[in-house]
Structure 1
Amino acid sequence: MTEAGASTTVLSSALTLVGSGVATALVSYFLGRAKSKAEMEKMKAETEKTRAEMEKIKPDTEKTKAEMEKVKAETEKTKAEMEKMKAETEKTKLEMQALTTTVSDLAVASERTLFDGTETSDYGFTVRGSPGFIWGKDGKPASARGEGELVIEDGMMNVKRTNTDGRFELWFEHYSVGENNNSTVIPKNELMSGDRKLRVSCEAKAAGAKHTLRFLIRNPWTGDRLFSDTRKVEGNEWKKLEVYLKFDPAQDVIFRMDDEGVSAAPSSVQIRKVVITERIG
């Protein structure tokens, strides 16, 4: 082969290789482009899908937003109503306090205290204990004499009974009226119209048996009983007792408390915080 023929052969081979490379490159380019286009179409489709879903969700979001605004408005309304109720409650509380003060002032103004044993341990100087009988209508004893003793301790009256017969009498001998605010009787008031009214309150409990306390008003000069009422005492827990006594205002009177109706002996009844007030209004 001549030199010219060899050159031609080499050139042809080179051109063939170049053509083959270009073709391969072109094929790769177009294949890659097609793949990229497909991926872009896929991404576009997914984007459209996402957009459609967002459009679908948007009304729900707007609805939720509107509901939240509604709830917020209702919450503000409720808050305002609660503030209004709070203000009205405070107003009512103040009115009740004022009314309570007024009622208390009226009560104080319409009553006077004749005996106050709420904070005293001086029952030994103001109250005398004495055994007594239950009297019949014929003026004769209808029972044996009540036995026992009055012991003043820890600011209370402790009536210790040793039998169940008769009664044990507690005579109140000093009242906060008259000269020096100290009288042995509750003096008559002839200027008063209608009945005279006393309120007696105390606390009592019993140990060992049931007891009955009789609250009575009597004339100290004639011995006549003008009014009485009873309260039962049972159990060893303090119980508040209250009675209302009414009588003729034209008589001097004294107050007495009797322990009677004792279910068993020995036993006892304890009494404290005795207060006697008179209605004057």
Structure 2
Amino acid sequence: MTGTISAAIEKRDTGPGALIEQYRDEYASLMPSHINPDQWVRMAVGAIRGDEKLMRAAATDTGVFLRELRTAARLGLEPGTEQFYLTRRRSKAHGGREIIKGIVGYQGIVELIYRAGAVSSVIVETVRAADSFQYVPGRDERPVHGVDWFGGDRGDLVGVYAYAVMKDGATSKVVVLNRAQVMQAKAKSDGAHSEYSPWNTSEEAMWLKTGARRLAKWVPTSAEYMRERLRAAVEASQGASATTEPLPPVDLADLGDEEPLEGEIVEDES
């Protein structure tokens, strides 16, 4: 009997997935109220246990891994999805071994914008050489982007644009970036020219993220917007200034550098 118990203890899961479950309550305390902690934990555990290479990278330094998940929990984003990527990157501090780096994705930024409650829709699109594109600031409310969906190759990426339609029907600031401006953002990303960088493996997604991140500077991305609306309603009803302190906005630093440190990310190997 003693041998059986000892064997069971030895086989008990003590890996990264088990640690996520162990710290479930801590993560839950960080999450926005609308997030289901159990579902979030299941998603995080599934993402790490479903990829052997991610599992090994997480096990290299579980402290770093759990810290990256804290960012996902605080932002209320789903780990292991296009909202919040769990990626591998080489670490000099760990002898060149891989660790986990969390990256807020394009869908994560868009989710934060929607969640604030100020917008009814968010449009982020890339423009290619064969497309037609017209937008004159001060004259046009929104860009007019023509795409021949059935005409074959649309050509190289030449630009990206992003804007939001607010709940009152107004259009937010329209962000338009040409190739040179996107390349400037790429240049700020450490190791962007590495063969493992998403700038090389998922280029269009990085263009979209660049546009979405610039848009996030001009539209609400947090509960601050909803709190300010409540404050205004209270003031209107009471005829006096409310004293409720606003919630802090989502810091753009949470969304990574100009583009996050993807340079050391290691792509899946066949």
The verdict on a shared fold, with TM-score over 0.5 as the criterion, is no
Q: Looking at secondary structure, tell me which structure has more strand per residue.
A: 1
| Structure with larger Rg | 1
Task: Flag the structure with more relative contact order, 1 or 2, with Cα contacts below 8 A and sequence separation at least 6.
Answer: 1
